[in-house]
Structure 1
Amino acid sequence: MKRWIAIAILLLIALAVGACGSASAPPTESRAIPQGITTQVVERPAEMPRAAEVLSAEESDGTGGASSLAPLTADSLTDVRKIIYQGNMVLFVEDTEQAAREIQAMAESAGGYVAQMRGYRQGDRVIYDITIRVPAEKFENARNALRELAVRVDSESVITEDVTDQYYDIEARLKTLKETEAELTELLRETRERGGDVDEIMKIYDRLTRIRADIESLQGQLNRLDKLVAFSTLDIHLEPHILAEPIKPQDEWSFAEIVHSSINTLVDILAGLATLAIRFVIIVAPVALVLLLPLGLLLWGLKRWQRWRQQRHED
């Protein structure tokens, strides 16, 4: 009997302890987790700074949190810009042929090349027109070297063309077309594998061909812009300086040549006079006769009429 009483007392104590525990803990809702979904418990670090603390730290630092960002400089903007440089110079030098050779050597030593060279004569003067291409970063150095080469710089100019927008627009279109090409290539492969219709395959293939042609065209434009940006152009006109021009020796005096030249001049004058006389007799005389004959007859008739009137008046 005492044994059953002790068991009942233990049960009552256990029920009382359970009731107290359920009252102190907040009610929770348990939900079943579907199969196939894994769960991960993420614990917050014990010392995670609050937003207010971070803001206050930035304000106290005086930088506003911008100290961790790299400043935007002109150099960083220049690196991404695509600019084409083209210069033109008119130089007077002592020896144009020597200057042309030095310009060619200068361009090659700078990592560039001579795109065009043309030499021609104007009398005793040798003139050169030269076009060189040098790396863009050495454009100003090349211009300074040309100034030092010349006796006098007659004129110079620089033209810049910013093709940044055009370059990156072509690059973006090229990227899009290449992605489309990859998708169409994959679609063409899948269509062939599943035994698609011939018309469907030809449509995909035609579209793929047009896109590849557009890709080649845009790639060519991009390559051309790359070359123009990478290598600047300098057009150079070389002329000899007036002090470097050769002095012409005077012709030797010759008595025989002077006599011969004078006789030729006299003959030319006499021939001209004879030609004038012949033309006067043949052309001017008949015309004058035709014009003056009626006038002479008219004057003769007037004189006869005056004499007749005078005789009649006397009678």
Structure 2
Amino acid sequence: MNWIKSHKLSVFLLLVIVLLFGKSLTSSLFGISTLKMSAPLYNDSVSYEGLSRSILPIPGSTNPEVPLSQRKVTVQTDLSLLVKNVRETSKSIKTQAESVGGFMVNSSADYPEGGATGYISVRVPTAKLDAFLETLRTLAVRVVSENISGTDVTDQYTDIESRLTTLTHTKATFEEILRQAKNVDEILRVQQSIFQVQDQIDSLKGQKNYLEDTTATSLVSVNLATDELSLPYAPAQPWRPSVIFKTAVRSLLTTLRGLGTAAIWIGVYSVFWLPALALIRYFSKRANPPHKPA
């Protein structure tokens, strides 16, 4: 405490140096970049590790009036593939989808130091889904996870058809009334009713077409990576020495990069702290001159 009181200027210079580059140094020191995947994480019902496959139960009605072959089901498949080359595999998936009459929905890729990762989603005809998935499996070094889920929309589709039938009859009734209208006021009111019914018909037709398109094709979402640790999955065995070793090596490299970054920052800011250090030593010597021997 006495030293601080007798060296107020030195303490002040040290505080200025810390404020100048302390914030910038801490923000870059030991920085660990996070890998962002454009694909959503899987739900808890998915089974993982190796060539695993979990088919979720199809919710919805089991209306016996609709034969099984005529039911409307939307199918979505999620895959995580360990591959040798993310870019080439992504191109191959797109090409294979187009060859069976499908199309690409979206695609993304990242190339960090830890290993390349990518995501691609495509739509393919539901009738050709099994053959397409078999082709995707041959493109991978290993299928890390696979999940197929379906949603039964038959009730929704049937309801739309019934409402369309009713509205079509209603529109025909209004058109018959319109032909019998005898004055302008009646014509305008009936035409307004016809326009409202037609709007509802157009909306329902759009919904019906959407359901037909989504059930005729299946969405396939694929996560790609050259490193298994970059894929979004939960291993069946949490403790795995090989994985721990890789994680430890990465942590060591990150620490070394952090130390190198700190050394660079300290060297660059030496134009501030070296003169300040020199001044501190200078004033310290003046405040405490060496005692001459008697």
TM-score tier, shorter chain, comes to 0.5 to 0.7
Q: CA offset at residue 117 of structure 1?
A: 1.9
Alignment-derived partner of residue 129 in structure 1 = 119
Which of 214, 223, 227 is the matching residue for 1:237?
A: 223
Give the structure 2 partner of residue 220 of structure 1: 206
CA deviation profile, 1:264-303 (whole Å, cap 9, x unmatched) = 86x9599469549739x79xx9xxxxxxxxxxxxxxxxxx
Does residue 80 of structure 1 match 2:67? no
Query: What does 1:199-210 align with in structure 2 at a 5 Å threshold?
Result: 199-210=185-196
Deviates more, 1:173-182 or 1:209-218: 173-182
User: RMSD of the TM alignment (CA)?
Assistant: 3.3
Match of 2:161 among 154, 163, 171: 171
1:149 lines up with 2:153 in the alignment: no
Deviation at 1:128, TM superposition (A): 2.3
1:181 to 171, 174, 177: 171
Are the equivalent residues in 2 in contact too, given 1:167–1:222 (CA < 8 A)? yes
Structure 1 gaps, min length 5 = 1-73, 243-260, 286-315
Q: Judging changes above 3 Å, is the alpha-carbon distance between structure 1 residues 269 and 197 closer, same or farther for their aligned structure 2 residues?
A: closer
RCO (CA 8 Å, sep 6+): is it higher in 1 or 2?
A: 2
Q: TM-score, normalised by structure 2?
A: 0.56
SS where residue 122 of structure 1 aligns? coil
One-letter code aligned to 1:210: Q
CA change 1:178–1:276 in 2 (3 A) is farther
The counterpart of 1:115, out of the listed 83, 102, 105, is 105
* 2:116–2:227 CA contact under 8 A, matched in 1: no
The structural deviation recorded for 1:189 is 1.9
| Amino acid corresponding to residue 158 of structure 2 in structure 1 | Y
* 1:128-158 superposed Cα distances (whole Å, 9 cap, x missing partner): 2111101111222222221121112222212
Give the residue type in structure 2 aligned to 1:154: V
The residue that corresponds to 1:278 in the other structure is: 280
Kindly report which structure 2 residues correspond to 1:60-71, keeping only aligned pairs within 5 A, or say none: none
The structure with the larger Rg is 1
Give, in whole Å, the separation in 2 of the partners of 1:270 and 1:118: 44
Question: 1:182 deviation in Å?
Answer: 1.5
Encode CA deviations 1:80-121: one digit per residue, 9 max, x unaligned: 211000011111111112211211121112121112122332
- In structure 2, runs of 5+ residues without a counterpart are 1-63, 229-262, 288-294
Query: For residues 108 and 186 of structure 1, what CA distance do their matches in structure 2 show?
Result: 49
> Which residue is 1:104 aligned to?
94
2:109, 2:118 within 8 Å by CA — same for their partners in 1?
A: yes
- 1:165 is displaced (CA, Å) by 0.4
Give me the whole-angstrom Cα distance separating, in 1, the residues matched to 2:197 and 2:149: 35
Change (3 A) 1:117 1:270: closer
2:183 counterpart (197, 203, 209): 197
Q: How many residues align?
A: 186
| AA at the equivalent of 1:231 | T
Residue aligning to 1:290: none
Cα separation, partners in 2 of 1:219 and 1:270, compared to 1, 3 Å: closer
Segments of 4+ in structure 1 off by > 6 A?
none
Q: How does 1:8-47 map to 2 (within 5 A)?
A: none
TM-score, scaled relative to structure 1 = 0.52
- How big is each residue's C-alpha offset from its partner over 1:30-73, in whole Å with a ceiling of 9 and x where there is no partner? xxxxxxxxxxxxxxxxxxxxxxxxxxxxxxxxxxxxxxxxxxxx
Q: Is the 8 A contact 1:151 1:241 kept in 2?
A: no
SS in 2 for 1:130: strand
The one of 54, 76, 85 aligned to 1:95:
85
More helix by share: 1
